[in-house]
Structure 1
Amino acid sequence: MHPPTKPPIPYLLAYAFTLASRRAEEELRPHELTLRQYGLLTQLQLEPELTMSELARQLGVSRQSLHEMVGELERAGHLGRLPGSSGRTRRLALAPGTERLLARTRESLTRAEAGFLGDMSPPEIETLRELLQRLLAHATDDESWLAGM
């Protein structure tokens, strides 16, 4: 008989993602946002000068998926387009009121986080957060994940 092997980290992360995103989606539903839409809005709030290509790369979605999400968020009144730096380009901008929406959704996601993390201690939670931020900074080659550490 073989000794039990430790589950691979990609499997653990994927399964944790499934469970965490289910809780988060439930909390975001009353705000009429998906987790991916929340991520897009939050990323734009943090880095308002991102191009569509940079935003797609940072969110880990195709440009086509990003364009679909942007269209949905524009129709919902959460995003607008402004002239870009060259005059010929356009950039995305949060619509008035979207920052307040993000503040309310953060409260909802805090509830989802607490339910998901259960009885983990505050130091354990911060260690997990820091490890995930370091992992994402490395995997995406984007140091902005390390902000606030």
Structure 2
Amino acid sequence: MSTMTESTRATEEPDHPPRLPEPRIIYLVKRVELIARAQLDQITREHGLTTPQYTALSVLRAQPGLSAAQLSRRSFVSPQAMTEMVGALETKGMISRHPDPENRRVLRAYLTDDGRAALEACDRGADLLEEHMLRDVTPQDTTALRRALSACASGLGPLEGTDTARL
């Protein structure tokens, strides 16, 4: 005698496959990040930069005169990696560094004309990449996506009061 109910059998039959859960948003964000990063790596490579270097140059455009330590925090790389990156960008002629007038041990970084030109070339490629990525997204949804992702980034502080071992 079978204990399966009619509804149980219906969901296990081939013409009624089990309903899969929606993918996690963190999975979708990571998937977009990996695809976009691979394409951005190709764009920046065509202009003699790496994606982290492009990020650092973008940060310097918005905030000229940062120290390597400040630049590392704003560019999402370790201070050690930024020290190497700043040296490479200076060697390539993309940035120049000058001592801080108040603390001569601190070197402030600035874009050079070559750095600005490379940054603008990469920007054009990044613009095309974003246009391609968002081609099936309405302008209203693009605005909502930007707002939602910014809110998500703001909300990702430390998980205070949460037992992360259980996560």
TM over 0.5: yes
Distance 1:117 1:107 in 2: 15
Equivalent in 45, 48, 53 of residue 61 of structure 2:
45
Are 1:135 and 2:137 an aligned pair? no
| 2:72 maps to 1:30 | no
How far 1:3 sits from its partner (Å)? 5.5
| Residues 61, 111 of structure 2: 8 Å contact kept | yes
Partner in structure 2 of residue 66 of structure 1? 82
Structure (1 or 2) with the greater helix fraction: 1
**2:95 pairs with 1:96:** no
State the number of aligned residues.
141
Which protein, 1 or 2, shows the higher relative CO under an 8 Å CA cutoff with sep ≥ 6?
Answer: 1
Per-residue Cα deviation, 1:73-104 (whole angstroms, up to 9, x for no partner): 11211011111132232111112232233222
Runs of at least 5 residues in structure 2 that lack an aligned partner in the other structure: 1-10, 12-17, 158-167
Deviations 1:87-139 (A, max 9, x none): 23211111223223322221111111122223112222222223223333454
Instruction: Tell me if structure 2 keeps the 8 A contact 1:23–1:116.
Output: no
The residue number in structure 2 matching 1:144 is none
Instruction: Quickly say closer, same or farther: Cα 1:86–1:138, change in 2 above 3 A.
Output: farther
Q: What TM-score, normalized by structure 2, do the two folds share?
A: 0.72
Sort the Cα spacing of 1:129 and 1:28 in 2 relative to 1 into closer, same or farther, 3 A. Answer: same
Select the structure of larger CA radius of gyration: 2
Which residue matches 2:36?
20
Letter in 1 for 2:25: I
In the alignment, is the contact (CA less than 8 A) between 1:83 and 1:89 conserved in 2?
yes
Q: Percent identity over the alignment? A: 29
- Aligned partners of 2:73, 2:117: CA distance in 1, in Å? 26
Structure-1-length-normalised TM-score: 0.79
